[in-house]
Amino acid sequence: MAYNSIPGVPEFFVFNEGKRKTKYCLMIPIINENERIIRELKRAKKAGIPQICDIIILDGGSTDGSIERMMDLNLGVNSILIKTGKGHQGAQYRMGFHYAISKGYEGFVTIDGNDKDSIEDTNRFIDKLDEGYDFVQGSRFIKGGTEKHTPLIRNLAVRLIHAPIISLAAKKRYTDTTNAFRAYSKRYIVNDKVNIFRDVFDRYELLAYLSIRVTQIGLTATEIPVSRIYPKNEKTPTKISPIKGNLNLLIVLLKAVFGKYNPK
């Protein structure tokens, strides 16, 4: 099924669309993650994740054959969204949120598709959504969390720059603010004071913005422990370039802190 572009949502089509079976969904943005997303989905299936929340793939235009493989292997994916319109990761998220809302999901868990995160912990996010939290941030740095082989510069940048600045703006202490393993309530995502369906959220802007905005509008947020393990003796699986990418992240962070993404 094709979805034509509407304001704030890129054009996309849905491949192998399934019926909504659960209250919440797990959305995984990918582009050419190859074997990493296959391994991650196998772990999810083994942990029973498809039985507790529908898995929705948010594909940005993969050409590596991973979409075909995940279908051939029957890995428990509910629906696959293929973005055909403009935009990057932020556009994939906007596509996913729009689709999930239209399907009637009451909350949304997100996770990277590069097999670094403990997808087996998805149920912890669902528990927090059931408790009434509007934003749940996964953290490898709090008690019960695990991190291994994190590049030193990235570790220091998150701990000493990104998390403290986000925490100050949100007036809520966070420890792992670049971590995309999170959950959001529908109440938060559709709030007019948030308004995520804007083209300004093209790359990594939503991650910073949604960490801050939730408490600013009086909704609830919490952190839970998760695991994030980078592969040892392999190239770091990331789409963020060391210099330009990290500089752009800093610019995005400062814009979010100073309210540049807040609805007018």
In this predicted structure, what is the pLDDT of residue 195?
98
Average pLDDT estimate for 67-95: 96
Average model confidence (pLDDT) for the chain?
93
Q: Say yes or no to pLDDT of 50 above 90.
A: yes
Which CATH code is given to the segment(s) 2-257?
3.90.550.10
Q: Which amino acid is at 202?
A: D
pLDDT of residue 264: 85
Each residue's pLDDT tens digit, 2-42: 676 789 999 999 998 999 999 999 999 999 999 999 999 99
Read off the pLDDT of each residue in 196-220 and give the average, rounded to a whole number: 97
* DSSP per-residue codes, 149-210: S--HHHHHHIIIIIHHHHHHHHTS--S-TT---EEEEHHHHT-TTT---STT-SSSHHHHHH
Q: Mean pLDDT, to the nearest integer, of 235-254?
A: 68
Domain ranges of the chain: 2-257
Confidence band (pLDDT; 50, 70, 90) for 239? low
Q: What is the pLDDT of residue 245?
A: 56
pLDDT interval class at 44 (50, 70, 90): very high
pLDDT at position 153: 85
Distance (Å, rounded) from C-alpha 14 to C-alpha 41? Answer: 19
pLDDT band at residue 152 under the 50/70/90 scheme = confident
> Which strands sit side by side in the sheet containing 24-30, from one edge to the other?
2-3, 12-15, 77-83, 54-59, 24-30, 107-110, 182-185, 135-139, 221-225
Confidence band for 231, pLDDT divided at 50, 70 and 90: confident
Q: pTM for the full model?
A: 0.93
- Give percent of the chain with pLDDT exceeding 70: 93
Digit-coded pLDDT (tens) for 92-120 = 999 999 999 999 999 999 999 999 999 99
